[in-house]
Structure 1
């Protein structure tokens, strides 16, 4: 990321709605779909020419961690908000859908006669599963471990804003420092052979969130960078292709090994810079009024459904893997990928319309009144 020091310009006005930077909403869909195709590849089987790009699609989680920090910083920087109001908004945003999808996932486990352990299940509903090794895969809904991390991010977010306000003149330095600390953390944790610390532990994953926060503040402050949008997309694609080459070179072709220096671990940890480039490049193009290919009504709708898509798709693929014999025919695998991904998308749309959106709308005004700024007061991004 090269800072354009000579051109600090004011941030362009954007419409005061939840899609104030609409391309980021569109990107959410592609990140969620990356996770969906990762599950398809893992639980249905590989497809020549496609699996190569989604083999390490778990990177979508890293994208969401960075994006979460960026969007929250964009929405709340220089906007006094009492912590109880902020925390209630976040609860309203994630918890209703989380509870419903966790209950659905438990239903799938019952159908499979494979209920998870009681401690892990209770830990899931308390959003504690990322804090205990081996709980991530054993809870009520395995992908929801990321919400355990997000809950921690939300808890420390007001403190991050205080630190950023105190060091306002040194925000760029803090961003570079956060990226440097990530590299050092990877080296230290890798040397200790502790993959869980890198992959799951909320305190270390918070570095990815912090990078997003700092970038969001800098953009809100009017800072711009010379980042080519097309090259940012190419960097993300090239990174995923490079991970496959990494696994061939370092891991002997083994795709999913917990060696901290493996391609599997790097896929989640070292993806932060390339996703940061893409997020900033897309946001800047929106603020400048330039096209990104991500702002159509269809893309925005798919982006709104992406949270539900992320939470529901794994249980659908899990049920397929349990009840269906391995599919050897490539054509049938392609059809299975399409059918299961389509079913996941339909389920996500229904969950958004029936649970996520109405529950959030109701809860946001239930205790603190209408806490969203009036039109023209603040340009909102969907949180």
Structure 2
């Protein structure tokens, strides 16, 4: 989901002391666009040439949501390096970027579907719908993952506090806890999916496995842990950028094959794995880490500035896809082509243009206004207190 894309490193300032520098992780920024586009293809392009000819990693929407969760943890770990940032400032930053376009998309969806402004709307508007699994995808269904992200944001200040010691000796403990959490989550979810309580897609049990926030916590924690390793410089001086890029691409390809051969894997081990609920997080984590190492190499791509803009607009693309598609479906028949691939291509182009406009006109602008207002309020607070004294 939407975050600042930053890479933290160390340089020596004029006084000879370590100084923190920040570099944009543009490679990860563009990956967010690819992941969002995969979700769009999964939702609306199943009868197109793209869906049938792309490898699984590029047409399987559910696993890309896992990618978002891992990436979110990774980025938050490496971007929040200021010890003075308060929990309130952290929450304001997150809400300022997410909420405005989220609410616009929700209202647009409701208008398009003529939905009632009832309790279900309140759950979605307050971003808690995923805690009520049967309501998670009722309104503007991609929003369920944003609801899960809000859970991650709620606990992130605690994780940042626990990691503030920045001792390399504690990295092993972080990794062990993250992996154990992933194993425990997958054992519980996979077992639950085999019991008589699991009634399949569209039921409460299915929603608990796929949409309930704690079911995806392991993805965020794995990503956060990888971010701590990245800040500490682990492997960054050992693995070359070209090698890191090749290994990252290999891991992405392996993830696709894991999904392809899921039924065979289940048959071989005699168990059913919860592939759609953070199972692939254990592979996405090193793939993202290696892609971050290759950042400087990828930044040399001539069209990178344009790709970064696409990456910046990926949240709008993701959250606006449902209402935008509803609007597109109302296109007069004389403007619709016989080819579903052509129609879908036109929709994607329109959605991308809409998302770019949304990023610059709404996301970026409104976020800046909210953050500025909050900063002014905080700066005024001491003066008012002094007057009271």
TM bracket (short chain): 0.7 to 0.9
Alignment of 1:25-36 (within 5 A): 25-36=29-40
Q: 1:244 aligns with which of 260, 285, 301?
A: 260
Bigger-Rg structure (1/2): 2
C-alpha displacement at 1:302, in angstroms? Answer: 0.4
Equivalent residues of 1:34, 1:58 under 8 A apart:
no
Residue 342 of structure 2 is aligned to residue 342 of structure 1: no
C-alpha displacement at 1:205, in angstroms? Answer: 1.4
Deviations 1:132-161 (A, max 9, x none): 02111212x111111111111111111112
Alignment of 1:1-383 (within 5 A): 11=9, 20-42=24-46, 47-50=51-54, 52-77=56-81, 79-110=83-114, 115=115, 118-139=118-139, 141-165=140-164, 168=167, 169-193=169-193, 194-224=205-235, 226=239, 228-247=244-263, 261=272, 265-286=274-295, 289-291=296-298, 296-318=304-326, 332-369=339-376
C-alpha displacement at 1:309, in angstroms? Answer: 0.4
C-alpha spacing 1:116/1:218, structure 2 compared with 1 (3 Å): farther
Q: Distance in 1 between matches of 2:20 and 2:116?
A: 46
Equivalent residues of 2:226, 2:289 under 8 A apart:
yes
C-alpha displacement at 1:351, in angstroms? Answer: 1.2
C-alpha spacing 1:78/1:339, structure 2 compared with 1 (3 Å): same
Q: Distance in 1 between matches of 2:116 and 2:264?
A: 34
Aligned residues: 340
Equivalent residues of 1:44, 1:336 under 8 A apart:
no
Equivalent residues of 2:320, 2:355 under 8 A apart:
yes
Which segment drifts farther, 88-97 or 74-83?
74-83
Instruction: Tell me the TM-score normalized by structure 2.
Output: 0.77
Structure 1 SS opposite 2:136: coil
Structure 2 SS opposite 1:366: helix
Q: Distance in 1 between matches of 2:186 and 2:326?
A: 31
- Alignment RMSD (CA, Å): 3.2
Q: Distance in 1 between matches of 2:230 and 2:183?
A: 24
Q: Distance in 2 between matches of 1:101 and 1:151?
A: 17
Deviations 1:194-235 (A, max 9, x none): 443332111231221111111112211222264732121122
C-alpha displacement at 1:88, in angstroms? Answer: 0.9
Q: Distance in 1 between matches of 2:327 and 2:260?
A: 27
For structure 1, list consecutive stretches of 5 or more residues without a partner in the other structure. Answer: 1-9, 252-259, 372-383
Equivalent residues of 2:55, 2:256 under 8 A apart:
no
Q: Distance in 1 between matches of 2:55 and 2:341?
A: 11
C-alpha spacing 1:49/1:72, structure 2 compared with 1 (3 Å): same
Higher relative contact order (CA 8 A, sep 6+): 1
For structure 2, list consecutive stretches of 5 or more residues without a partner in the other structure. Answer: 1-7, 12-18, 194-204, 379-389
Structure 1 SS opposite 2:178: helix
Equivalent residues of 1:56, 1:267 under 8 A apart:
no
Instruction: Tell me the TM-score normalized by structure 1.
Output: 0.78
